[in-house]
Structure 1
Amino acid sequence: MTPSTFPPLLSALAMSSVLLLAGCASQGVPVVSTASSSTATELPAPPRNEDFPKRENAVRPQGTFPRLEALRAMRTGMGKDQVRNLLGSPHFSEGAFGVREWNYIFHFRTGAGPEYVTCQYMARFNQNAQTSGLYWNDADCAMLVVPPEVKAVAVVAAPAPTHRVILDTDRLFAPGGGSPADLLPSGRAKLEDLAIEIKRNFGRMRHVAVKGHTDRLGARTHKASLSQQRADTVRGLLVEQGIDGRLVRATGMQDSEPLVQCAKATGTQALTGCLRPNRRMEIEVAGEP
């Protein structure tokens, strides 16, 4: 090889390398600095709960415990490679070509012990394969990733104590029900009155905790679902009545905090009646007058 032939050959090799790299990167889409703002104008309508795929249809049904920093870094205008680097591959079979939606199953620790809550996350893409919408199947899930901002308040001499209300779920919901449609008229009226009382007594609310409790009867999965559904329904009604939803958290406690044990009760009817105090809703409000 002579010096005169070396540069053209080097150029040819460099061009081949560029083409090879371009072929390997064909799955990615360049993201420019204006991508986030441009895709923000293309935001599709938010998905409804039924638009999220059923967990049993996932190809990775076990889900993952995501890094909160990765979820907080998600933005519109990101390419699929960037999303995969942050969150991993989607947990459902989304198709092979022209995929416009990725779905994930994420778990979040609730505190001490092995307990956790499960949420579903959806990333939608536009025709340029850039994220155009990021969604949770439950508003509380977003609060786990980015908690509500806690603003500093002036220290007062005598802060108002936490206001705690216990409501009998047998008087709030139809038997075995937990959805808004299962609320008894008298139960709805009681919750509406409670919302009015909360707004009247607390000029500044710090948080409202809604906890759903069941008794010890029945399957654990059913109790978990029912207690969470009832808590969500009560939370929704309080927000509907004007309480800031960013401050209201709903938690299904199942039968983890019983008030009575009823070890001496005999017979199904007697036991069910004895355990009634355990079937309750607790609403705790912290704030200042």
Structure 2
Amino acid sequence: MNKLLQAKTSFTAHSTPFAALCFVALVAGGCASPSYTITPQMQARAASENPTPPTDDEFPALDSAKWQQGSFPSLEALRTMRTGMGKDQVRGLLGFPHFSEGLAGVREWNYIFHFRTGAGPEYITCQYMVRFNADVLTHGMYWKGAGCADMLKSAPAAAKSIATVQPAVVPAKTTLGADGLFRFDGRSLADLLPEGRHKLDALAHDIRSSVRSVNAIKVTGHTDRLGSKTYNEGLSLARANTVRDYLVQAGVPAQTMQVQGKGESEPKVHCAQTRRAELIDCLAPNRRVDIEVFAEK
């Protein structure tokens, strides 16, 4: 321990201020490796993994945090989180982790996030864990705290306020089959098929040109019943987030968008085929993304 202290003292005493600052950030954030290129193959590996979620006991104790005050995160930043993201990208959205995670080979970052519950100073506190795979890309994001995960499902404040003052409108609903949108088991922007991009471009054009005022747009992902419930919920939400991000890039107002993943809970068809290939084909209508546009024409 004394040798480590002497080494740290020697480094900060004889290094430039910039180098010393980098060393402090290194120790605090567990960001031992420099930036690296993320390839589609690496992202595909991260998307294909299905790690076991942590138990509440696996989250670090709040009083062990390096920065115990935590922070008030941007909901949009949290909604942008995906599998297949590098540490630089996560740090750009969420900042440095609030716990001292280590120096090298760090595979887990932990945060303390607060969310306002009203106009006053009241808020709830949540813990957020980001886990990285062997390629040092995100392959799991987890919450600890009652109602914490639901914060990301809440409608943006702007959309809520509009909904309270505008008359109710009938939503125009578009259903896009996931098999035509994404590569097999895909969920990211990189996994969108050319056919899927064409459909989303056409939908974005229709939204921009055919309505006078958009109140809200609800994007809901669905999966079939194959796979675990937890995996399907994560896949459906990730696909809905990707569709939302693509529509925003195509000019649809981000503040109107609401995203949710229903997993396998709302099937359109029920199938009993025993051969897997036939069962997958039969369940295709359940693998979909619904887009509902609440607007005045």
Instruction: Give the TM-score category using the shorter length.
Output: 0.5 to 0.7
- The equivalent residue for 1:180 is 189
| Distance change >3 Å, CA 203–CA 88, structure 1 → 2 | closer
- The equivalent residue for 2:68 is none
Q: Deviations over 1:100-148 (max 9, x none)?
A: xxxx956564xxxxxx7266xxxxxxxxxxxxxxxxxxxx478568864
**Is 1:163–2:172 an aligned residue pair?**
yes
What is the identity, as a one-letter code, of the residue corresponding to 1:190?
K
- The equivalent residue for 1:279 is 287
- Do the aligned residues in 2 keep the contact of 1:209 with 1:250 (CA within 8 Å)? yes
TM-score by length of 1: 0.55
- The equivalent residue for 2:248 is 239
Q: Deviations over 1:58-100 (max 9, x none)?
A: 78x9x8996714xx556xxxxxxxxxx96569789xxxxxxxx
- The equivalent residue for 2:235 is 226
- The equivalent residue for 2:117 is 68
Structure 1 unaligned residues grouped into runs of 5+: 1-45, 75-84, 93-103, 110-115, 120-139
SS of 2:262's partner is strand
Q: Which has the higher helix share?
A: 2
| Distance change >3 Å, CA 288–CA 271, structure 1 → 2 | same
1:183, distance to aligned residue in structure 2 (A): 0.5
Residues matched between the structures, number = 192
* Greater radius of gyration (CA): 1
Within the candidate set 250, 267, 274, 2:275 is matched to 267
* Partners of 1:89 and 1:198 in 2: CA distance: 36
**Is 1:117–2:149 an aligned residue pair?**
yes
Q: Deviations over 1:161-204 (max 9, x none)?
A: 31001111000000011000100112111101101011222111
Within the candidate set 200, 203, 220, 1:191 is matched to 200
1:240, distance to aligned residue in structure 2 (A): 1.2
Q: Deviations over 1:240-263 (max 9, x none)?
A: 111111111111110110000112
* Partners of 1:54 and 1:255 in 2: CA distance: 35
Within the candidate set 65, 85, 92, 1:48 is matched to 92
Query: Identity of counterpart residues, as a percentage?
Result: 32
- The equivalent residue for 1:18 is none
TM-score by length of 2: 0.53
What is the identity, as a one-letter code, of the residue corresponding to 2:277?
Q
Structure 2 unaligned residues grouped into runs of 5+: 1-89, 100-106, 130-141
- The equivalent residue for 1:201 is 210
* Partners of 2:222 and 2:98 in 1: CA distance: 26
RMSD: 4.1
* Partners of 1:191 and 1:214 in 2: CA distance: 19
Within the candidate set 161, 183, 197, 1:149 is matched to 161
* Partners of 2:236 and 2:126 in 1: CA distance: 32
Q: Deviations over 1:229-250 (max 9, x none)?
A: 1000000111111111111111
What is the identity, as a one-letter code, of the residue corresponding to 1:196?
H
